[in-house]
Amino acid sequence: MATIEAQDVEEAVAVCATLQKAGRYDWFRGQTRDWPLRSSFIRLDSEQREEGLRQTARFDYWVKRTYGLEPLVLNPDMAVAAAQHYGLPTNFIDFTTDPIAAGFFASTEPDQVHDNDEHSCILCLNTVDLENFWKSMPQKFRKPEFITLTVPNLWRLEAQSGVFLFCPYTDFEHIYTLDRIIFPPTKLTGGIPEHGYSPERKSPLELQLDQFFMNETLMEGNAAASSIFKKVYFVPGLPGRCNPLIFAGGDLPIHESWNSDSIEPWLEERTTHLSELVAINLSLEVSDSPDEARNAFRSKMETMLNEDPTLRSKLVKFTYSFAAPPQGVSSERNITSAARLWEGLRRLPFTDEEIATGLGNCLALQLWWSKPGLEEIEAAANTCFGDSLEVALGAPDGSHATAYVEEDALLGCVRSDISTFLVPETEEEVEGSIIGLVLGCSDPTRLFDFRPLASLFATQICPVQVITRRDMAVYYSPACLDSFGLP
């Protein structure tokens, strides 16, 4: 084993780059400690491995039954790569072809505690040398595999120039020792791309993965999660989940707007890539009310989308600033919720006007929601949209979310022929009541006209979700739901 000592992580990265250019190494792995090379699965004890295998089996089952994940089904390595990047234990070990990325993952924050004799390190691998070395090994020893793949819409892998070494050995370095560069624990400051190596922004695939890991959190009985997430109300055991006291015969046919040709574009996963950020700033005066800010933001986005037809193919960083900030308000704030909303909406067939309206509402909600909390977001929705109703959204995989939507706007999405299916005795009472209708049927394909509901997702339901559900499942289109009810 060759060990090179560097003064800090910056020098270690420079050494890696030099040795890579010379052809000595092609893969690198950054570690905050000089640990031996072991996979996340190997590092578990026997009980943890059993649970890891069960979780992996659940993930595999979920991938195979979730629309839009067909590339992962066709290539199991892609599924394992996605699982690895989201913390599931596997025998894939992360490497990178980018020395700066390796330095980033080997670097430490100034307040992290290390023992005086501990070092950070970057492991250095020559894949050709390891390939040749293994040719002399007995056949009973399974050969490590070099896995280089592109997983569509897995931005974490793309950002990190990630590759994987399949390595199922407990003490691999007793067989083949990797060279390493060691250095005192220090923080990397230079050369990191603007999007970072663990992007906060989420691609369509990563948004779907949030649904699986939300379910895993719920399965673990997380007390905090159980107090936040609410089940969707529905009538079990009835066709279309329709209440016979409200709908004649307990049946309401699927509305024609939900036919497969109509909703296919709303389910289609388009491959998007990390790209250079486009910065959009909204300058506000101190006197600007949330309404004025919303209208200004919406107008600016409509203009930009009209002037640049390619804007929806790009990443955008949204900020707003006050020329003279009010007391207690920073002069500039990054609207991270707006960026998340942009990522979810831009790839779907929403109109530019719907996206601009949604972004304007997102800013208004953020300004109104001065004290984060469940009661406060309801008040913000009432102020922003009008009298609002809390709704519960459920997906086929069991994940779910809540949001707020203006009652009259949601009523306007109900199919126009709804009165023909109502029980005469309750028709007068229920027809004009969105609460009564939703209580009567929790299947969105039967109760709503698809396109008006989709528009309401862009302008109201999604803005509320991205603000209140930072690391949880967010649904950007009603096409991915199988229930729409009341908490």
Give tens-digit pLDDT for 5-50: 999 999 999 999 999 999 999 999 999 999 999 999 999 999 999 9
The answer to whether position 63 is within a domain reads: no
In the numeric block, which tokens belong to residue 58?
Answer: 């659940």
Q: Which of 158, 184, 199 is the last residue of a domain?
A: 199
Q: Which of 139, 166, 199 is the last residue of a domain?
A: 199
Q: Check whether residue 302 and residue 188 sit in a common domain.
A: no
Cα distance between residue 148 and residue 397, in whole Å: 30
Between residues 170 and 281, which one has the greater pLDDT? 170
- Look up the pTM and report it: 0.73
The answer to whether position 115 is within a domain reads: yes
The answer to whether position 210 is within a domain reads: no
How many beta carbons lie within 10 A of that of residue 22, not counting itself?
8
Q: Check whether residue 250 and residue 122 sit in a common domain.
A: no
Q: Check whether residue 123 and residue 269 sit in a common domain.
A: no
Q: Check whether residue 290 and residue 389 sit in a common domain.
A: yes
Q: To which residue do tokens 């990191």 refer?
A: 192
Q: Check whether residue 296 and residue 415 sit in a common domain.
A: yes
In the numeric block, which tokens belong to residue 114?
Answer: 């290390």
Cα distance between residue 138 and residue 136, in whole Å: 7
Q: Which of 156, 183, 199 is the last residue of a domain?
A: 199
Total number of domains in the chain = 2
Cα distance between residue 37 and residue 126, in whole Å: 14
Q: Check whether residue 194 and residue 242 sit in a common domain.
A: no
> For 300-309, 353-362, 427-436, 450-459, which range has the lowest pLDDT when averaged over its residues?
427-436
pLDDT above 70 (res 305): yes
Mean pLDDT of 214-240: 49
The proportion of the chain whose per-residue pLDDT surpasses 70, expressed as a percent, equals 85
The answer to whether position 338 is within a domain reads: yes
Phi-psi region of 251 (alpha: psi -120 to 50; beta: other; left: phi over 0): beta
The answer to whether position 79 is within a domain reads: no
pLDDT above 50 (res 228): no
Domain of 427 in residue numbering reads as 223-485
Q: Check whether residue 419 and residue 333 sit in a common domain.
A: yes
Q: Check whether residue 389 and residue 444 sit in a common domain.
A: yes
3-state SS, one letter per residue, for 186-255: CCCCCCCCCCCCCCCCCCHHHHHHHHHHHHHHHHCCCHHHHHHCCCCCCCCCCHHHECCCCEHHHCCCCC
pLDDT above 60 (res 329): no
Answer for the pair 188, 100: CB distance below 8 angstroms, yes or no.
yes
The answer to whether position 353 is within a domain reads: yes
pLDDT digits 0-9 by tens, 355-409 = 999 999 998 888 887 655 556 888 889 989 999 999 999 988 878 889 999 999 9
Confidence of residue 350 (pLDDT cuts 50, 70, 90): very high
Q: To which residue do tokens 């203006």 refer?
A: 406
- Give pLDDT, residue 388: 95
Q: Check whether residue 141 and residue 232 sit in a common domain.
A: no
Q: Check whether residue 192 and residue 273 sit in a common domain.
A: no
The answer to whether position 378 is within a domain reads: yes
Confidence of residue 181 (pLDDT cuts 50, 70, 90): very high
Q: Check whether residue 188 and residue 229 sit in a common domain.
A: no
The answer to whether position 55 is within a domain reads: no
pLDDT above 80 (res 462): yes
Confidence of residue 156 (pLDDT cuts 50, 70, 90): confident
Q: Check whether residue 381 and residue 468 sit in a common domain.
A: yes
**3-class secondary-structure state, position 393:** strand
